[in-house]
Amino acid sequence: MTATTPAASADSADAADWIWPLDLARYDRRALLTHTESKALGTLGIEQVRRLGLTPQAAPRRLVEPLAHARECLQWAPGTGHQRRFARDAAGLVLVRCGERGRSYWGWSDQDWADLIDRSGADFRRRWGGQIGPNARPFVIAYAYLLGGFTAFDQVGRFQRPTLAHRVFGESAVDAAVGKVLAVLGDWGYQRRPSRLTSAVCQILLLNRSPRLEDLSTPALDAVRASAAMQDSEWASDLHGIHRAVAALGHADPPPRPRHGPGPTAIEGTAGSWANWVERWHATSTLTPGVRSSYRSVLAKIGRWLAAEHPEVTGPELWTRQTCASWVTAVDRMTVGDYSQWTAGMRSQGRIGKPLTPQAKSGYLKGPRAFFRDLHEWEWIPQRFNPAHALRTPRSVQALMGPDPRVIADDIWAKLLWSGLNVESGDLPTADGRTYPAELIRAITLTWLFAGQRSDEVARLRVGCIRWQHDGMPIPGDSGEVLARDAVCLLDVPTHKTGTAFTKPVDPLLGQAIEAWQAVRPDRPAILDPKTNERADFLFAFRARRVSKHYINGTIIPMLCRKAGVPTSDVRGNITSHRARSTIASQLYNAKEPMTLFELQEWLGHRTPEATAHYAKITPNTLARAYNDAGYFARNVRTVEVLVDRDAVASGAAANGDPWQYYDLGHGWCTYTFFEQCQHRMACARCDFYTPKASSKGQLLEAKDNLQKMLAAIPLTDDERAAVDDGQAALDRLLERLSDIPTPAGPTPRQIGVPTTATLLPIINVRQGGTGFAPR
């Protein structure tokens, strides 16, 4: 009997024409040995096999022929004739072990083959030293693979997978398959050693028992992923990338997304009925996975609270308004760690026993509101109360919450900005000896520093998200034109947390950095966007994977802080990716030519100005400048020129009641000492304290050379301020109101005969350009 495929033709056969080299159905595969076979194998030794070869004279024919055919099917490299002797020794060893076991190799288990192969080449040689060639072990593995279907490679330690694949499948077929996979991975930017990836691909081909990539279908790759030989191997981490390469070649579907962790922890410490309701809601809710998981944790905490305080309430259908009120009260008095399933992390941080923040209290009430609202809408339970009212956040808690953006201090932000603009090769973060290209790191760093976007939005930016325009006209990306100095760079932001895609202007430095990365970015297949469930060509992707949204927090920010010489936290907490959004928004809101709140709302991509208020905060400097520009003091205090008669003061005449202060009214002088208290000062009734400038007394007063000119600050009432600011109508109203009020001299304006209307004359020299008026 000969092999189905001769060795000579198999070497030149293409992988597409490859077929399994042995037809095992043609052999007698009984596991039990006959008495004659047992007797022949009992006296068989390695030396006899070496002398007689693999012939019926050496051992029973039904056991020798399959080994001989398997040996003939092995592919031999040129100049390896001595390897044939090792293959013969390995076959003899298999026959000897059949005699020892009393069972043919057709009935061996994986463990039987693994015991013969041993855990290492050194152990194998120690066991059979001096009897067979030292390099017979790889051929024992080949016989086990071809005849016994052995793929439990995890049980036999290290051996050369490429060598076994070449011998079984043929070197040309294996190299063709490996070359295609490595070419795709190389284009995507994989930086693993080619020898490592070659071994990983050969391991997968061997487990699938075929050198053809066409045979690596989705079910076949799923079976390889589930096999112990792949899970426990050193190439398990490469399977995802190889699967992606096979999918890109059109032979399988893309691999499933890697799962992080075994899933949500089972709820403990609650009534079984409550836990079942929570899990049922969790499986039905359409909230995002993160929000759904957060609410589940709160609901589990409610279940433990119920078990401790209200054991009779075992399900949501038993809740009343009184139960809701009890939970609201419990939340208001709750501390960190109460009714929690795990407290080890909180205890290590020293948080156990501290009061909950207002935001945490609000979250503990928001979760059950959504839970009961859904249960009522789905008609799972009867509606006995309104969750929006019965579980609303108390006003005392709401008063403690409000916009409070955690802005990074200007000096620290300036240092981080400098670090990002000057990233060098030595600053690049590495992991397991690998690193992203410098262009990618610079682009993602400047995106964080200039774009003001959430980390998830940064990670989900698309290729081609940068566009240029000049004077309102787009600049084609392939035009080759030198961008104008005042060209505008536009960034296309994908669908995000609170809305659909939109476009915003950004600094040209960011656009140039992104274009530099796009110029060297390897081509790669589209990746599923978990938010929109569409395949997208992500900008920040390498080695066929999208950069994680946690990369900025975990790698970029520590690198920038280290380079800038600043700590990774400040008085407001850790420096995170989201704090840059607040910092940039506040700086734009407090600029010399600031963006309005509505403009900033559009730039940030918010739905309402209320959301923008949580990011933009007026700085004390801006507030002080606005306060000074408002002129509060100048608006309420005017200055009047006063002439002081120093002779009257020095001679003692002032003490006898003679006038010594003369307030300049423009058309005359007022000698009333308490002028600032006179209600008629803005609408002078010309009482006995009034001296017209045109009179001889006024002229004599101005002719004195011992007068000292001074300014007096006069606070204005609302009516007087209106008279100054609003003009004649306000002055008429002031005159009407003062018509029956006595002047400092005693008589009222009506008694003096002052008209009810008057013409305005400037009477006051006002600081900072103000003007005061009085009637003529």
pLDDT (tens digit, 9 = 90+) per residue, 456-470?
Answer: 899 999 998 998 887
Residue 176 has pLDDT above 70, yes or no: yes
- Strand, helix or coil at 492? strand
The arithmetic mean of pLDDT across residues 286-297, rounded, is: 90
Label residue 713 by pLDDT band (50, 70, 90).
low
Chain Cα centroid distance, residue 40: 71
Label residue 40 by pLDDT band (50, 70, 90).
confident
Residue 535 is assigned to a structural domain of this protein: yes
Same domain (yes/no): 500, 363: no
pLDDT score of 256: 77
Domain boundary among 398, 425, 458: 398
CA torsion 385→391→392→398, rounded to 10°? 170
CA atoms within 13 A on the CB side of 525: 18
Q: Residue 341 and residue 269: Cα distance in Å, rounded?
A: 8
The arithmetic mean of pLDDT across residues 281-305, rounded, is: 91
Asked if 739 and 648 count as a contact pair (C-beta separation under 8 A), the reply is no
Label residue 701 by pLDDT band (50, 70, 90).
low
Residue of 362, 373, 313, 364 lying closest to 340 (CA atoms): 364
Label residue 767 by pLDDT band (50, 70, 90).
very low
Residue 262 has pLDDT above 60, yes or no: no
pLDDT score of 726: 57
Label residue 664 by pLDDT band (50, 70, 90).
confident
Q: Residue 89 and residue 47: Cα distance in Å, rounded?
A: 9
Residue 642 has φ and ψ, to the nearest 5°, of -125, 135
Same domain (yes/no): 606, 459: yes
pLDDT score of 130: 62
- The set of residues, in sequence order, having a beta carbon less than 8 Å from that of 54 and lying 6+ positions away, is 64, 67, 68, 71, 88, 91, 92
Q: Residue 157 and residue 328: Cα distance in Å, rounded?
A: 61
- Sign of the dihedral through C-alpha 551, 553, 554, 556: positive
Q: Which domain holds residue 226?
A: 171-248
Same domain (yes/no): 94, 126: yes
Q: Residue 698 and residue 322: Cα distance in Å, rounded?
A: 85
Tell which phi-psi region holds residue 740, choosing left (phi > 0), alpha (psi between -120 and 50) or beta.
alpha
Instruction: Write the DSSP assignment of 667-732 as a string of letters.
Output: SEEE--TTGGG-TTTTS----TTEEETTSHHHHHHHH-SSEEEEEEEEE--HHHHHHHHH-HHHHH
Q: Residue 575 and residue 179: Cα distance in Å, rounded?
A: 45
Q: Which two tokens mark 612?
A: 């923008």
Query: 143-157, 377-391, 552-566, 713-727: which range is least confident on average?
Result: 713-727
pLDDT score of 746: 75
Residue 258 is assigned to a structural domain of this protein: no
The residue type of 657 is G
Q: Residue 270 and residue 280: Cα distance in Å, rounded?
A: 15
pLDDT score of 120: 84
pLDDT score of 774: 37
Neighbours of 474 (CB within 10 A): 12
Residue 734 has pLDDT above 60, yes or no: yes
Label residue 207 by pLDDT band (50, 70, 90).
very high
pLDDT score of 776: 33
Residue 331 has pLDDT above 90, yes or no: yes
Residue of 364, 420, 370, 423 lying closest to 394 (CA atoms): 364
Residue 260 is assigned to a structural domain of this protein: no
Residue 645 has φ and ψ, to the nearest 5°, of -85, 100
pLDDT (tens digit, 9 = 90+) per residue, 482-522?
Answer: 555 668 899 999 988 888 889 999 999 999 999 999 998 88
Label residue 449 by pLDDT band (50, 70, 90).
very high
Same domain (yes/no): 608, 470: yes
Q: Are strands 771-775 and 760-765 parallel, antiparallel or unpaired?
A: antiparallel
Residue of 754, 660, 763 lying closest to 716 (CA atoms): 763
Same domain (yes/no): 577, 638: no
Chain Cα centroid distance, residue 363: 21
Same domain (yes/no): 71, 117: yes
Same domain (yes/no): 443, 574: yes
Residue 255 has pLDDT above 60, yes or no: yes
pLDDT score of 189: 72
The arithmetic mean of pLDDT across residues 229-247, rounded, is: 84
Residue 337 is assigned to a structural domain of this protein: yes
Q: Which two tokens mark 314?
A: 């075992």
Query: 48-57, 209-218, 499-508: which range is least confident on average?
Result: 48-57
Average pLDDT score over the chain: 81
Residue 575 is assigned to a structural domain of this protein: yes
Residue 552 is assigned to a structural domain of this protein: yes
Instruction: Write the DSSP assignment of 418-484 as a string of letters.
Output: HHHHT--GGG---BTTB---HHHHHHHHHHHHHT---HHHHHTPBTT-EEEEETTEEE-TTS-PPPP
Query: 47-51, 216-220, 718-722, 755-759: which range is least confident on average?
Result: 755-759
Domain boundary among 103, 129, 159: 159
Instruction: Write the DSSP assignment of 348-397 as a string of letters.
Output: HTT-TTPBPPHHHHHHHHHHHHHHHHHHHHTTSS---S-HHHHTPPPHHH
Same domain (yes/no): 227, 280: no
Label residue 2 by pLDDT band (50, 70, 90).
very low
Domain count across the chain: 5
Residue 228 has pLDDT above 90, yes or no: no
Instruction: Write the DSSP assignment of 81-131 as a string of letters.
Output: THHHHHHHHHHHHHHHHHHHHTB-GGG--HHHHHHHH-SSHHHHHHHHTTT
Residue 697 is assigned to a structural domain of this protein: yes
Q: Residue 615 and residue 610: Cα distance in Å, rounded?
A: 10
pLDDT (tens digit, 9 = 90+) per residue, 336-367?
Answer: 888 887 766 655 566 788 888 999 999 999 99
pLDDT score of 78: 57
Label residue 34 by pLDDT band (50, 70, 90).
confident
pLDDT (tens digit, 9 = 90+) per residue, 110-154?
Answer: 999 999 888 888 888 887 766 666 688 899 999 999 999 999 998
Residue 264 is assigned to a structural domain of this protein: no
Same domain (yes/no): 326, 458: no
Asked if 392 and 366 count as a contact pair (C-beta separation under 8 A), the reply is no
The arithmetic mean of pLDDT across residues 7-11, rounded, is: 37
pLDDT (tens digit, 9 = 90+) per residue, 72-120?
Answer: 888 776 555 667 778 888 888 888 888 888 888 999 999 999 998 888 8
Q: Which two tokens mark 675?
A: 């002028």
pLDDT score of 4: 39
The arithmetic mean of pLDDT across residues 148-171, rounded, is: 90
Q: Between 710 and 771, name the one with better pLDDT.
A: 710
Asked if 394 and 301 count as a contact pair (C-beta separation under 8 A), the reply is no
Residue 546 has pLDDT above 80, yes or no: yes
- Strand, helix or coil at 569? strand
Same domain (yes/no): 446, 392: no
Residue 54 has pLDDT above 70, yes or no: no
Asked if 462 and 533 count as a contact pair (C-beta separation under 8 A), the reply is no
Q: What is the CATH number of the domain that holds 452?
A: 1.10.443
pLDDT score of 636: 58
Q: What is the CATH number of the domain that holds 356?
A: 1.10.150
Q: Between 604 and 47, name the one with better pLDDT.
A: 604
Same domain (yes/no): 393, 414: no
pLDDT score of 394: 93
Same domain (yes/no): 516, 427: yes
Label residue 234 by pLDDT band (50, 70, 90).
confident
| Widest CA span in the chain | 158
Label residue 178 by pLDDT band (50, 70, 90).
very high
- Can you list the positions of beta strands (E) in 551-596? 569-570, 573-574
Q: Residue 525 and residue 518: Cα distance in Å, rounded?
A: 15
Domain boundary among 248, 280, 302: 248
Of all residues in the chain, what percent are helix, strand and coil, respectively (each to 5)? 50, 10, 40
pTM over 0.75: no
Q: Which two tokens mark 466?
A: 């940068």
